[in-house]
A = this chain, B = another copy of it.
């Protein structure tokens, strides 16, 4: 009997690992994937999908205010969190089985168990040793234990809590350094909870443009969500009336009394994988890889949250890295283009940004032109009352290279694809200004922002 030798073994069946396995199999490799928890990983089971689902529900509630302006009045709205949760659990199971089916259809062998490297080219799983030529490490990230005093109390939870409870907390403090604090705050708020965002960063949207950040902050504040920046939890103690949180922030020291603290800090999952056997340190914060997903050790690739600090824990990045690693493991020469990586938020208004901010572009030495088109001046934007929406385009002056595009507003997450495509295929700002987007759409503002950068907008004052 021939020895079990795989061309590619993928350790982790999440947003990066599953497509990596499929692509390697499409390239005629013999492929195995190993998952110790749930196929689909964090994104599908506990991240983008359930929280995307909650945001859709939350945004339906938001659309009622536009409806009211239009003569549609709704009385007696009831919100049943158990129905919402049941629907999303069903969706997730369905999607998970979809991933399993697609892996199988492509001929990928699935091992449901914990994989551990035992020596170079050999891995133990479910009591069996399997051999491989290439391994793709895709084990993602895991929750970090909070470092503050009282962080071990049962009322200090992470976002998984919202997926397991039957009832949302009455008052919650959301703590960490993640943009997803804002999504959760908006969801809780619309479902009747009182939310406090306590971000460790300088702003609620660290890394995005001033315009986008201030417009989102304004909406959130108007909804009654409290925002604390440069926040640190000094200590937490449990009292009769709830958790007492001593918080230091830009505004000084304050005490909040809440039901729950929801923290969102994650770090690379590197432990107990046997990485020492292939000379990888288990105490690294994240694994360093190049644009080909190579770790520097022959036949060892790494992708996904394992290779990125938390603000970049996006599954579309893991997906691209997965495809790239698989192609390279199968002898191709693929590389990711970090310029096309999108940061998105399913808040209302949505946020979707790709590439450099004007400040980053200047710091990188570019001669920069910037154009913007507010959705409040776009006909469809006026229909939708998109007072906070805008698109900003950042380009290099001489050759018109598009360096960054920043959206806030309805459908931003779908529109940003236009910018991703433009950056990937090196469309110039002049070409972008001439794209005949259909009317009436918000997308028209992208061409108008590009025309604004060139000094010849049609409908901007």
- Chain A residues with CB under 8 Å of chain B are 15, 19, 22-23, 26, 43-44, 48-49, 52-53, 56-57, 60-61, 63-64, 66-67, 69-84, 87, 91, 94-95, 98-99, 101-102, 105, 314-317, 319-320, 323, 336-337, 340-342, 344, 352, 377, 379-380, 382-384, 411, 413-418, 420-422, 424-425, 427, 431-432, 434-444, 446, 456, 458-461
Contact = CB atoms under 8 A, between A and B. Distances in A.
A137 B459 CA distance: 21
Rank and list the top 6 A-B pairs by shortest CB-CB distance, nearest first: A71-B83, A71-B80, A75-B76, A417-B443, A316-B439, A342-B438
A70 B83 contact: yes
A167 to B, nearest CB: 13
A96 to B, nearest CB: 11
Contacts of A417: 415, 418, 435, 437-438, 441, 443, 446
B57 A67 contact: yes
Interface centre among A52, A66, A383, A427 (most CB of B within 10 A): A383
Contacts of A70: 53, 56-57, 60, 83-84, 87
Copies in the complex: 2
Nearest to A90: B382
A330 to B, nearest CB: 13
A328 to B, nearest CB: 15
A82 B71 contact: yes
8 contacts: A22-B459, A52-B440, A73-B77, A75-B76, A102-B460, A340-B435, A340-B436, A420-B435
A87 B71 contact: yes
Contacts of A420: 435-438
B72 A75 contact: no
B61 A72 contact: yes
Contacts of A71: 57, 79-84, 87
Nearest to A317: B436
Contacts of A314: 438-439
Contact of A91 (B77, B95, B382): B382
B439 A319 contact: yes
A72 B87 contact: no
A317 B440 CA distance: 12
A319 B458 CA distance: 10
Contacts of A441: 344, 413-414, 417
Given A52-B383, A317-B436, A352-B438, 8 more contacts: A15-B439, A48-B379, A53-B70, A60-B66, A71-B81, A341-B436, A344-B438, A417-B438
Interface centre among A49, A79, A99, A413 (most CB of B within 10 A): A413
A224 B432 CA distance: 42
Given A102-B458, A421-B421, A56 B414 contact: no
A349 B46 CA distance: 29
A22 B457 CA distance: 9
Contacts of A98: 377, 459, 461
